[in-house]
């Protein structure tokens, strides 16, 4: 199979591991920087050019799209889909996952457990939104934030009001979310491929920090999930439409609560914490499912 990996850097751990896993299985792989692609959107003859050559004969594409290039890279991926190339994650699902508000609304509609979340435009509603999520302490998240950036824990109502006012003055959109204290600075990263969780780890924030992201100093180790946690992770990924996803969950007194569904989850942390060949699982899924014009939206999203 001829596989394209959409990635801006072929040396990134995740990109390298996917390339290696595919090549070990005898596939031809090319890493393509989506920002160096340009598209011919002619009716009936969609095409993609890359570094002055026409991209042809690809049977599958693995998108590793960074948040900062979502718009253009998703357009390139949509063009691949219009050409009949199978994508392990479709463009419309990636767009859904990158819009935190839309993703949470989809999860809510599907009955997936989540922390109580509020969203408002006017600062006149600040007190009401704070009360809606149970008061302080609470978490405030920028909609455009990734990897823990733009996430603030407000421990008092006064602090929450100050942060909300500051974000609103910057004309930034944000969510206000209940703080799940019983999680004690830990969350679960569940790596979903297809209809199962293939690897999972528990991430714990460093002392003095509430965000458990590994690049912020958090630690990770392999964890055994409960059946409810597994089913919640798979349900969340399917609700957003992702075949490969990193689903972040916190353990609460009322069961597992989904924080986020990530469409380009990193492989380094999960593979090192669990010792599992997650990249190989993704290629296995691709081998079983890649067929021409078999994406659900076919580039129409």
Look up the CATH number of the domain holding residue 232. 3.30.470.20
Residue 36 belongs to some domain of the structure: yes
Residue 69 belongs to some domain of the structure: yes
Answer yes or no: do 252 and 269 share one domain.
yes
Answer yes or no: do 122 and 216 share one domain.
no
Closest CA to 133 of 181, 187, 92, 168: 181
pTM, two decimal places: 0.90
Residue 300 belongs to some domain of the structure: no
Answer yes or no: do 130 and 209 share one domain.
no
What pLDDT does 299 receive?
A: 47
Answer yes or no: do 186 and 278 share one domain.
yes
Per-residue pLDDT of the chain (301 residues; tens, 9 = 90+): 999 999 999 999 999 999 999 999 999 999 999 999 999 988 888 999 999 899 989 999 999 999 889 999 999 999 999 999 999 999 999 999 999 999 999 999 999 999 999 998 777 788 999 999 999 999 998 887 555 578 888 999 999 999 988 888 888 888 999 999 888 889 999 999 999 999 999 998 776 555 655 555 578 899 999 999 999 999 999 999 999 999 999 999 999 999 999 999 999 999 999 999 999 999 999 999 999 887 766 445 5
Answer yes or no: do 132 and 143 share one domain.
yes
Total domains present in the chain: 3
Residue 103 belongs to some domain of the structure: no
Residue 41 belongs to some domain of the structure: yes
What pLDDT does 124 receive?
A: 78
Answer yes or no: do 90 and 125 share one domain.
no
Answer yes or no: do 277 and 186 share one domain.
yes
CA distance readout (Å), 242 to 53, 91, 95 = 30, 10, 10
Answer yes or no: do 147 and 204 share one domain.
no
Closest CA to 174 of 215, 135, 124, 129: 129
Domain end among 133, 149, 179: 179
Residue 112 belongs to some domain of the structure: no
What pLDDT does 27 receive?
A: 98
What pLDDT does 295 receive?
A: 75
Residue 294 belongs to some domain of the structure: no
Answer yes or no: do 153 and 191 share one domain.
no
Instruction: Say how many Å lie between the first and final Cα of the chain, rounded.
Output: 26
Domain with residue 127: its CATH number is 3.30.1490.20
What pLDDT does 206 receive?
A: 72
The parent domain of residue 243 ranges over 182-284
Q: In the numeric block, which tokens belong to residue 236? A: 């969340």
Answer yes or no: do 278 and 192 share one domain.
yes
Domain with residue 39: its CATH number is 3.40.50.20
Answer yes or no: do 173 and 197 share one domain.
no
């Amino acid at each position: 199979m001829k596989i394209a990996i959409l990635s801006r850097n072929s040396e990134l751990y995740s990109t390298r591991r996917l390339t290696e896993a595919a090549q070990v299985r005898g596939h031809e792989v090319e890493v393509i920087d989506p920002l160096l692609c340009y598209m011919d959107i002619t009716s009936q003859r969609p095409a993609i050019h890359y570094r002055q050559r026409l991209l042809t004969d690809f049977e599958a594409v693995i998108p590793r799209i960074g948040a900062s290039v979502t718009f253009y890279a998703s357009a390139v991926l949509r063009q691949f889909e219009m050409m009949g190339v199978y994508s392990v994650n479709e463009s419309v699902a990636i767009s859904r996952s990158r819009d935190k508000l839309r993703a949470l609304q989809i999860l809510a509609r599907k009955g997936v457990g989540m922390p109580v979340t509020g969203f408002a435009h006017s600062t006149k509603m600040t007190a009401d939104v704070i009360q809606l999520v149970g008061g302080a302490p609470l978490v405030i998240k920028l909609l455009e934030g990734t990897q823990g950036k733009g996430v603030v824990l407000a421990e008092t109502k006064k602090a929450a009001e100050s942060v909300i006012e500051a974000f609103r003055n910057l004309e930034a959109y944000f969510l206000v979310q209940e703080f799940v204290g019983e999680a004690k600075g830990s969350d679960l990263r569940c790596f979903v491929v297809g209809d199962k969780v293939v690897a999972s780890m528990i991430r714990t924030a460093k002392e003095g920090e509430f965000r458990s992201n590994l690049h912020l100093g958090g630690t990770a180790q392999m964890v055994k999930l409960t059946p409810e946690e597994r089913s919640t992770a798979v349900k969340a990924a399917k609700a957003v439409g992702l075949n490969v996803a990193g689903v972040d969950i916190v353990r609460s007194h009322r069961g597992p609560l989904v924080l986020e569904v990530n469409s380009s989850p990193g492989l380094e942390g999960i593979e090192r914490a669990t010792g599992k060949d997650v990249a190989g699982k993704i290629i296995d899924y691709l081998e079983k499912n890649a067929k021409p014009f078999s994406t659900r939206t076919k580039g129409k999203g």
